[in-house]
Amino acid sequence: MNNHRFAELRERLASPHDILGREEYYCSAVLVPLINIDTEEHLLFEKRAAHIRQGGEICFPGGHCDRDKDTGYLQTALRETHEELGIDQSMVSIIGQLDTLVSPRGIIVECFLGILDIDSLKELQLDEREVAKVFTVPVSWFLENPPEIYHTRVETQSSYVDEHGKQQILLPVEELGLPPRYKNNRSQWTRKVFVYKYGPEVIWGLTAAIVENLVNKLFQADRRSQIT
């Protein structure tokens, strides 16, 4: 392989890395909104309207990346925030991008931390078709109240029995000459499920995972620096 070819490949790899197989996932983005209330930092949450998918659950504003509308994942987060909360993009100051969340359920979530330039939640115009209500939680509460931790079991299956009792082969192990053990359902790992109970509200799942990562990565570092 000549030097020109090396240089060509190096140039291609200079672009930002992505997630292998991203196109097979449900790609979404959320805004993690910060609001200052009485000089204290709060996180803002939505409660989904009861009649929609995952109704009644707690989330951040966001949704599916629409390639026809969005120039990138940040645009997705800002567009969805505008649609759900009625807040103009000019009133959101983006601090930066948080870690990407990849769920074994086939979901990728790009997360952006931003400050809402509002004085009161009354300034928001909720889309009642999607949002039942909003509420805030002080960041300090998450620092003082670590999440409860549960687990779910994640398995890979080469086949399954459908609702009609018929076996569906996903990976033809014998036909491909693969080791017989791959015919069995294999438990690969147990996955942590974080749960925060804030008054009557339960923050869990992907939203709680984003909060846990944010608090440990950014705000715990603040607290440690203040102590030292």
Q: What percent of the chain has pLDDT over 90?
A: 70
CATH number of the domain that residue 87 is part of = 3.90.79.10
For residue 14, tell me if it sits in a domain: no
For residue 182, tell me if it sits in a domain: no
Quote the pLDDT of residue 228: 43
Quote the pLDDT of residue 184: 83
pLDDT in tens, 35-89: 999 999 999 999 999 998 888 999 999 999 998 999 999 999 999 999 999 999 9
pLDDT range class, residue 96, cuts 50, 70, 90? very high
For residue 178, tell me if it sits in a domain: no
For residue 172, tell me if it sits in a domain: no
SS (H, E, C) the chain: CCHHHHHHHHHHHCCCCCCCCHHHCEEEEEEEEEEEECCEEEEEEEEECCCCCCCCCEECCEEECCCCCCCCHHHHHHHHHHHHHCCCHHHEEEEEECCCEEECCCEEEEEEEEEECCCCHHHCCCCCCCEEEEEEEEHHHHHHCCCEEEEEEEEECCEEECCCCCEEECCCHHHHCCCHHHHCCEEEEEEEEEEEEECCEEEEHHHHHHHHHHHHHHHHHHHHHHHC
Q: For residues 178 and 111, what is the distance between their CA atoms, to the nearest angstrom?
A: 39
For residue 174, tell me if it sits in a domain: no
* Mean of the per-residue pLDDT values of the chain: 91
Task: Report whether pLDDT(193) > 70.
Answer: yes
- Average pLDDT on 118-147 reads 94
For residue 181, tell me if it sits in a domain: no
Q: What sign does the CA torsion over 217, 27, 104, 181 have?
A: negative
pLDDT range class, residue 205, cuts 50, 70, 90? very high
Beta bridge partners of 138: 42
Identity of residue 169: I
Task: Report whether pLDDT(174) > 60.
Answer: yes
For residue 68, tell me if it sits in a domain: yes
Tell me how many domains the chain contains.
1
Is the separation of the CB atoms in 91 and 117 below 8 Å? yes
Q: State the residue range of the domain holding 213.
A: 23-146+196-223
Q: For residues 227 and 218, what is the distance between their CA atoms, to the nearest angstrom?
A: 15
Of 71, 113, 110, 73, nearest in space to 92 by CA:
113
For residue 107, tell me if it sits in a domain: yes
Quote the pLDDT of residue 5: 82
Contacts with 123 (C-beta within 8 Å, 6 or more apart), sequence order: 87
pLDDT range class, residue 222, cuts 50, 70, 90? low
pLDDT in tens, 155-165: 888 999 999 99
pLDDT in tens, 22-33: 999 999 999 999
Q: For residues 139 and 217, what is the distance between their CA atoms, to the nearest angstrom?
A: 13
Q: Which pTM value belongs to this model?
A: 0.88
34 half-sphere exposure, CB direction, 13 A CA radius? 19
Quote the pLDDT of residue 130: 94
